[in-house]
Amino acid sequence: MRICIFGSGAVGSHFAVRLALAGHEVSCVMRGAHLEAVKARGLTLRVGEAEFTAKVKASDNPAALGTQDLVISTLKANAVASLVGGLPPLLGDDTAVVFAQNGIPWWYDIGIAPDHPPVPELGFLDAGGRLRATVSRERIIGGVIFSSNEVVAPGIVANLSPDRNLLLVGECDDRAGARIERLRAVLNEASIGSPPAARIREAIWSKLLTNMSMSVLCVITGQTARAVRDDEALREVVPRLLDESDSIAQSCFPGIKRVTRTGPAPNHKPSILQDYELGRPMEIDALVRAPAAFARAANLSTPTLDLLAALAIQRARDKGLYKG
């Protein structure tokens, strides 16, 4: 299968190596020193003490990669607009596009189930509706990533979650079908876990529960998720934060699994904090602004989340990392 990973940073590079070693013809849209290293030496994945290197076709110009059977976008939510110009040269008649990102995706209301509560206005996730004009409903596949990775040097990515590397996928209208089954088989055969996801939006909310609460608190404090969970000064704050996050998710999917309130949290900095510290644009709209819109639509009171969201937005603006 011809597979293009669009936005091959840490997660995308990990998946690219796995898929290439599984025998697929993998192309990567990437840039900078990472691109130059991959062209020269291939793309290397480190898992513990083991290293795996794959030869992939890489370019910062999607048009140089040719049409694909499948495109997996691992771009962060605030960067998906770059797909508007980059996707068309990759698309054949039947090319599907997996949008694997954190937070509420731009396509959330497309193909939505009739029993889903009304969706608030989310036009800010796709300014000018350019993605809607570029990607037809038939091409859209939702994706949810559970995998922690880091680019440790140009051309080299380290996997930090060897026991948990998943890409959940589903049609935007949740219909079961051969396309999703084939994709899940491709991922599983490449050691990228892809268990069934009957409702892809529920899977999106399951991950978002942590991102819109604990990850935002990490941005405010500069601490890892574990440090935040263990901080005595935040003992009363964290449960309120998680309860408010749960209430938003429950308004869309009653009975959705609640965030674990006990046990150790991951001892690493979430991606939104890494972006803040490295001076990269932050996923504020998808992780903070969109969930707040859902809370308002459901007439929910979320004072703790609202305060933390305002503080996170202010920190991002002060550093020039968010202009919304």
Which tens digits make up the pLDDT trace of 112-133?
Answer: 999 999 999 999 999 899 999 9
Which tens digits make up the pLDDT trace of 223-238?
Answer: 998 999 899 999 899 9
Other CB atoms within 10 A of residue 263 CB: 6
Kindly state the helix (H) or strand (E) to which residue 70 belongs, with its residue range: strand 68-73
Which tens digits make up the pLDDT trace of 39-56?
Answer: 999 999 999 999 999 999
- Tell me the percentage of the chain whose pLDDT exceeds 70: 98
Other CB atoms within 10 A of residue 126 CB: 19
Q: Say what the pTM is.
A: 0.94
Q: What is the structure's pLDDT at 166?
A: 97
Binned at pLDDT 50, 70 and 90, residue 264 comes out as low
What domains appear along the chain, each with residue ranges and CATH number? 2-198 (3.40.50.720), 203-318 (1.10.1040.10)
Q: What is the structure's pLDDT at 323?
A: 87
The C-alpha atoms of residue 47 and residue 149 are separated, in whole angstroms, by 10
Two structure tokens written together for 251: 């308004």
β partners of residue 54? 43
Annotated catalytic residues are: 207
The answer to whether 321 touches 282, Cβ cutoff 8 Å, is yes
